[in-house]
Structures are given as C-alpha cells and as structure tokens.
Structure 1
Amino acid sequence: MIRLPDARGLLRVYEPRREPAPSTTRSPAESATLACRTVFSAAHVVADPFADTMPDGPAAVDWEATLAFRRHLWSYGLGVAEAVDTAQRGMGLDWAGAAELIRRSSAEAKTVGGRIACGAGTDQLTRPDPPLADVRRAYEEQLALVEESGAQTILMASRALAATARGPEDYLEVYGHLLRQATAPVILHWLGPMFDPALTGYWGSDDLDTATDTFLEVVAAHPDKVDGVKVSLLDAERETALRRRLPSGVRCYTGDDFNYPGLIEGDEYGFSHALLGIFDPLGPRAAEAVRVLGTGDSKGFRELLDPTVELSRHLFRAPTRFYKTGVVLLAWLAGHQEHFTMVGGLQSARSLPHLARAYELADGLGLFPDPALAEARMKSLLTVYGGVDA
C-alpha cells in the first residue's frame, strides 16, 4: 500500500501490483526485428548525481548509465534518436555535452549494431538574434560532427533561426543550403511551440497552413536528401494531411505523443513511422506492438498500445516541454538508473501529484519489471519531497 497525493493535495491509498504484469513483450532476441515500421525512441540522458554542478552550468552526464539505457532500447529492435529534446537538448544539455553524447552513442551503436540518428542544430550560438550566416555555420558544424560519427542526421528546428529569419525565404535558403551539402538523407524535425515556445512561427509564419506549405516546399526541392520528416505538433489530422502530401519515398515519422497508435497504424492512404519521446519508457511494449502490427494483427497492435495513451498524455501535458521529468522518473522507478537527478535540476519541473499520477498509470500498465522496487522508490520520493509517511 502507498499513499499518493492527488491534484487537490489530498492523500489517497493506492494498492500497487504485487507481482510483475503478465508479460506482453518478447525477449530482446525475439523482438529485435521490426519490419513494418521504422521506430526511433528519443532517449533521455542520465545525470551524474555526485557532480558539483549548477542548474545553468555544463551538464554532468553518467556516461555508462546513459549508454546502458541505449543498449536496452537497441536490444528490442528500436532505433535511438540521440541528442534531441528528450535528451534535454537546450534544457540542461548544451552543445558541448550533446557533441560528446553523439560521439559516444554513435560509437556504441556501431558496437552493438543499433540504429541511431542524431540531432544537429544551432545551440552553440549565444547571441539571441545572430546573423543568418552564423546560423548556417552553426548548423554546418553540427551536421559535420553527426556525419563524421556515422549516425543519420536529424536537422532540428533552431531557436536562432526562428529569432533571425525574416520570413519563409530565409528558411528555404538555410535548409536548402544544408540539404545540398548533406552526404546522406536526413530527417527534418518540425518541433511545435508546445515543446519549445521559442519555436513559435517556425517556417516563417504563425499560420500553420502557411508554415506547412513552406516546410513541404523544402522537402519537394530536395526529395533525394530527405529520408523523412518528424512532425511534433500534437495534431493528428494535420499530420495525416501533411503525410499525404509528401513526395514518394519520403517518410513521415510521427512525433505526436498524444495520438501515436492511430498514426502508426495508418489508413488506406498510408501510415507514419515513429520518432517518439514516449517510447523511452514504453520501449519493450512499443517494440512488441509494432512486431504484432507487422503480422497483420492491427487489433492486437491497438490492444497493446492504446492503453498507454493516457500515461503519455499525462507526461506530455502542458507545459509540454517538461515531459522529460516524467520520463526520467519512470526510468528510475523501473530500475534503469539509480537516482532521480536530472541535468539542469529538471527533476523539480513537475509537481509531486503529477509524478505520483505518472507512477500510478505506469504501474497500472505493468511497465515496472520489479513493482516492489518501484513502490519503494516512489515512497522514498514522497518522503523526501512531500514529508509523506507513504
């Protein structure tokens, strides 16, 4: 038994699972091939809890625990989307830390045969409104590092470009320049302002229809250099409409953590692949669901994945950019790391009732391999941060 605080600040009794849930996932060896969809999990970083750091100082990363979690994801056949927003890029992880993460994770991927794509952005820039030429050079530096590492490139949305661009023509110029020099097809990442308010008006307009036209113009001009687009707007209808307008051979990777089961399943006109932050805590279950879908069993796919949406919508609720806190909480409770410290002190970004509800939903889904460990760790958190004799 554990007492959990609710949104009103009142304690209520919750009875956790006594035993692990009946297995809905195969062993890593059995589920390592996902043929019907390309699936990336955007992975979190594990902080070094003993580093003497400040919230606005350089990130201190526990490299072994961070790489161990990536091996966990690869073992189930998932790809890893590295050094993107789930890894606290721009929210505790600076470019120096991201560059080291890209190098280390890419080397690890080669060792284990894992698929990896890494984010290239402009976060080494410090001016709030740098010249457009500086934005291009910053992108070029990061693109070169990702390519040198041997990883696929994710061209991330840039706060600097959003602040500097005068209109759609600047986006067309910058992205066209980068795609012409890319040595292999990239993933273009459209991250909506709910994930990062500094990206409001991306692609040169606050009107999403106009922004979509510019985005698709970039893709249409360089279809041989675009493997796919990653859309994180939390709008299933808009993603579906955009997906149907993509050139042949260009994939859509859903980044919609609210509506992913239906988007991945698809319709008579097509489907989305996946590049999702929620697949960090859902890794084995997500892999099994996609494997089931590959057998033609759409009903079984939805039975596995639909029940997870409530948890995902809870973790990603507004302000959405703080979803990383819940993701790391679940990694700690599941035993993937030994502490709940985050780079930049972001463990404090969500309330205790929010974290308690995340625990309850995850436990209800049977996501914890050791429910007793998860319960004990949740009780310790409640005691330290809430003074609760749980």
Structure 2
Amino acid sequence: MPDSDKWFDEFAQRWGQENNVTVVSDHINYADIPARAAAEVSAQSGHDLFAFGFPPAQYEPEVVPLNDLIEEFKREYGDPYPILERSCYNPKTDTWFAFMDFWAADPVNYRIDLFQQVGGNPDTWQGILEAGRQLKQMGNPIGIGFSPEIDTGMAMRAIMWGFGTSIQDENGEIVINKPETIEALNYARQLFQEAETEEVLAWDASSNNRFLASGRGALILNAISALRTIEGTYPDLAPNIGLAKAAAGPADRRGCAHWYNCFVIWKFSPNVDLAKQFLKDLVANYRDKFLASKFYDIPSFPKAVPDWQDLVQNDPNAKPTDKYAVLATAPEWTVNVGWPGYMNAAEAEIFDLWIINDMFTKVATGQAEPQAALDEAEQKINDVFKKWRDRGLI
C-alpha cells in the first residue's frame, strides 16, 4: 500500500521537526526483515524502532518491555482488540515484547462473475472446493499456495482452525496430533489436486496477487492490497473481484491477519523514551493513517479510529461502494498466529521453519500419507517447544 508508506514517511519527518530530532525511516522487503533484525541484534546497533510483519516473540530477550506504553494506551483509548494481547504479550513472563499498531485482515478475494457461473459460494471451505472443481475445468483454478512462504502459512492455519484443530491449545500445550488435523490434511489434498494448479508449489508471497490480477485466478486469500492494486492497474477487472469473510469449516470460522505490524524497541537503543513517544503520536494520528492505507491498517485500539467500521461501508472509488464493508466484521474472525493460545517464540519459529506448510504440501502432492506427515511435523513441533520452554519463554 504505497500511499500508506508515503503518509508514514511524511509523518515521521514532520514528527522529527516538531521534536527537534532527525528521523530516518527505512523500508525493506518483507523477506529481508528476519535477516536484518538478526544482524542488528548481533551487532547491537541499528534502528531504535523496528517493525516486523509478524509478532517477533523470539526476540523478547532483546527488546525493551512495553508494559508501561500499553497501559498508557489503554487509559487513552480503552480496550484493544484481543488480537493485540494474543500477539504481543507473554503471560509466562508478564511482558509486552511488542506493540502492534495495526493488523491487516485476510479475507477471501474471489471472482464474483466466475463463482456465479458455477453457482458457487466462497463462504465455506467445502463451497470453495466444490466451485473450484468446476472452475479449474474452465481454466480458472483456485490460488491458495502450497509452498514455503507466508501466505501458505496463513492459509493452512485457517484450514486447520476451520476443521477444529491447531498447533497448541489455549494453555500452550501441543494438541496437533488428532483426527481433526487428518481431516484438514485430507481436505487440503482434495483442494490442491482437484481445484488448483501445480504453480502454487513454487509461489512466493506476491504470486497469488499476480494470479488474481492476471484474470486466471478464481480465488485467493489475501489482504485487500490485492484488490486495491487491481483497482489501480486493471480497472475493468476490479468490479468482478469480491471480498468475503474467512471461510467457515465444519468446526469454526477463523483466519490469520495477513500482516501484524509489530514494533519493537531494541535494548541497545539510546532513544527509548523518544521511540515510545513516536508510537504514542503515531496512534494519535491513526485516522489519517487508516485512510491513507485505503482501509488496510486496521487499528489495534479501535477507539484510535472510532469510525473505521463506518468508513469501510462506503468507498466512492469501489464498485459497488460497499465492497469493503466485510472488513467491519474482521475483528470477529481474525485471530493471532498461535490461536487459541498466545503467540509465543515456539509458534514464531514453527512459522519461520514452514513446518505446517511442509506438512500440508507433502500430503497434497502425495509425498506422504496424512498420519505420517502429521507425526513428522509433531516431532519437529515438540522439539521447538521444548527449546523455548527450556529458555523460560513458554
């Protein structure tokens, strides 16, 4: 969302002038964030504020606790959405290791015209599969990734939650090895083999966006950035793209956020108080940021933009003007990575290692039977959890 970046840079420069400091705002590709963060921690030098697109629970020992900042925000804006605490707070250590100023919803983006042609409904995972079978025969397959990248990681978790399974429970205990996971894996195998193209095995994080914009793709899971880009570059296609809630499974309807914009302040920062003040002033200006993001940046504290759910009901540039109204329901079905438990360092590492992606891909491509793939994944998950439990972070 380039307009959001432009707004942020202008705000940062204006804020620097008002506070008599020099502000440098660097933008790097998402894929480069982990290596850049690791390099700064290793050198104990770098940015005062570092924003991840994912809750960086594994960096808790390297960051300044933000408990005081969160309490101040609560006094000013009331309760945040639960996704903030579940993403940025560690109940084991009573530490807020990050502040997520916004999160981006991850709705279903689908071709209204194509789904109408086959009488399909993208509201449920079963409906997506049934429509996808016909759409693939028409040359318009479903575009949900099965590869080592972030969108696949989000989508596979949404499928798991829909079928009533997860990596951990609400208490942080591993519960993945159960029949519901087998059902989710069997479903995903059907989806890949009967409704998708093998291209999804080699996708990166932007492939699904390009797939939808090409006119071939019938459905993807993505933030509204996919549709916003199409509106600007393929205006004839845009009216045929619709948005829907995260798909419902037989047990539940849940989806990840597409982006968790989590700021940390490194312990080596010489400007901790200034960094906290920057975040306070950023949130105080959040209505302008929300509008600049074209509804992408949903505030973690709803009262920071008290009318955001009204704003999304009417976008004069969209066809129809209420196309983005589904975003108003996103707080009901968007959850943290690690749900129904808290985000933690183990869940972060499991995501980074693509353990879930790999499990689903092996089953989908016939490299492993569901139970064998699940057993292998569970062993890796156990090892990761043990490592972080031994370090006292879970």
Q: TM-score range by the shorter chain?
A: under 0.3
**TM-score for both structures, normalised by structure 2:** 0.23
